[in-house]
Amino acid sequence: MFKDMSIGKKLLAGFITVALIAGIVGYVGIRGMNILSSNLESVANVHLPAIDALQIINEAQTAVDGAENALLSKNLTPALRKEAYDRFAAAEKRVKDARPSTTRCRGQRKRKSPGIGPHHCGTHGGRTICGIWR
């Protein structure tokens, strides 16, 4: 087949073949970038707020541990005792402020599995996590 073709046609066929291969590689690359972008949005919109909330809850737990240790002291004045109880209250408030981002469905109806549409609510570890489903 290629024996009967002129050099110009052989070169043209070679360039067209290379262009097709480059087009296929480009399409696969762009498709992969789009998939990666949607997965990144999922991480940013669903998982990162939950991680931030867990970090706040962990910090509040550390504050509670410190207040408990302070209350165990025998030489604790009433003012220091009140300060320790205030740290308990502040830590509890931080936990309550952090939890809605991992337990409320932001005004949308709750679903246990990915639904059709732009919103997704799911459960993970007994908590309802909501975010954008694409």
Residue range 12-51, pLDDT digits in tens: 999 999 999 999 999 999 999 999 998 888 888 877 888 8
- Number of structural domains in the chain: 2
Strands, DSSP E only, in 1-134?
119-124, 127-132
Q: Where are the alpha helices (DSSP H) in the chain?
A: 7-42, 48-71, 78-98, 100-103
Specify the range with the lowest mean pLDDT, choosing from 4-18, 39-53, 59-73, 77-91: 39-53
Residues 86 and 118 in one domain: no
Task: Tell me the Cα Rg of the chain.
Answer: 29
Question: Which phi and psi angles does 123 have, rounded to 5°?
Answer: -110, 145
Q: Which domain holds residue 90?
A: 7-103
Residue 2 lies in a domain: no
Residues 124 and 71 in one domain: no
Residue 110 lies in a domain: yes
Residues 92 and 111 in one domain: no
What share of the chain has pLDDT > 90, as a percent? 31
Reported pTM: 0.46
Residues 34 and 97 in one domain: yes
Spatial distance between the Cα atoms of 45 and 39, rounded to a whole number of angstroms: 10
Closest CA to 72 of 64, 90, 59, 91: 64
Residue 82 lies in a domain: yes
Q: Are strands 127-132 and 119-124 parallel, antiparallel or unpaired?
A: antiparallel
Q: Give, for 57, the enclosing helix (H) or strand (E).
A: helix 48-71
Residues 20 and 59 in one domain: yes
Q: What is each CA distance from 31 to 17, 22, 41, 116, 118, in whole angstroms? A: 21, 14, 15, 22, 20
Q: 131, 46 in Cβ contact below 8 A?
A: yes
